[in-house]
Amino acid sequence: MRVILAQPRGFCAGVVRAIDTVEHALRRHGTPVYVRHEIVHNKHVVDGLKAQGAVFVEELAEVPTDAVAIFSAHGVSRAVETEARARGLRAIDATCPLVTKVHEQGRRYAAKGYALILIGHAGHPEVTGTLGQIPAPVTLVQTEADVDTLVLDADTPLAYITQTTLSVDDTRGIIDALQRRFPQIVGPDTRDICYATQNRQTAVRELSQQVDVVLVVGAQNSSNSQRLREIAAQAGVRSYLIAQGSELKPDWVRDAGAVGVTAGASAPETMVQDVVAALRRLAEVELLTLPGREEHVVFRLPAELAAEAAAAEVATP
């Protein structure tokens, strides 16, 4: 069996930064450190951080007063930030800088008087946080069909922003629909969507041209992983989303001459190799990696940790 790995795949800079944030906080402040929501959408990662002393909660009310509270990579609302300050929590913001960029775009448009549309998935933590970061009404649009139902004053200036983990193709379709209905609408170019989302989607499209089956390693609640599976399926290739090798069903790959493997931005390489190991138990494997874009993006730690690290260096004789 030929097993072909997509390139790039797996962790992006925002996920690496979020995980590093929790680990640095644990080393600096000791246990426990509280994390609001899953730091990233991956059970393997979350369980690993739990083992180091991180405690995951859904609401800040579960965090003791004066404790360290970390916000996940998906971002939080202004109300959550205000609650943390009011309760005296030592808050550390691990929001991905590219998500923060969307927040800033939205606030700039709102400040200029634009009616704002957010393209995203209702209930996703990133969308919930973005809606709560903009001090103005925001209309959520999830599909091209939603665009037809919008009731907006024709004279109102209109702008859009997007969830970072959506499919570029899906986003472009919705933007096109908005531009047809509202020719004066403004917004960021689709190239401004998360670089990791674009790169992984491009890679899975190329992978789908060379394999019979695509296995996407990632969590079921990972939006970007779900999009990768959908893109492979749209290319006419059987595709499955699995968290680890134990979930692989032999029937999926029994007649496949070539199996493609990729991973969502929150899936660690260890889980990719776990899936490859499961394939090796079914057949002798020839393992190849597609040539693809190399990523060298690195995001700095949150300012709270960076400042503490700098102070510690100064205090060290």
Q: Which residues are catalytically annotated? A: 126
- Residue length, the chain? 317
Q: What are phi and psi of 292, to 5 degrees?
A: -165, -175
What's the rounded Cα separation, in Å, for the pair 4 and 167? 22
165, 232, 251 from 239: Cα distances, Å: 19, 6, 13
Region of 314 on the Ramachandran plot (φ > 0 left; ψ -120 to 50 alpha; else beta): alpha
**Chain centroid, CA 14 distance in Å:** 8
Token readout for 78 is 């202004």
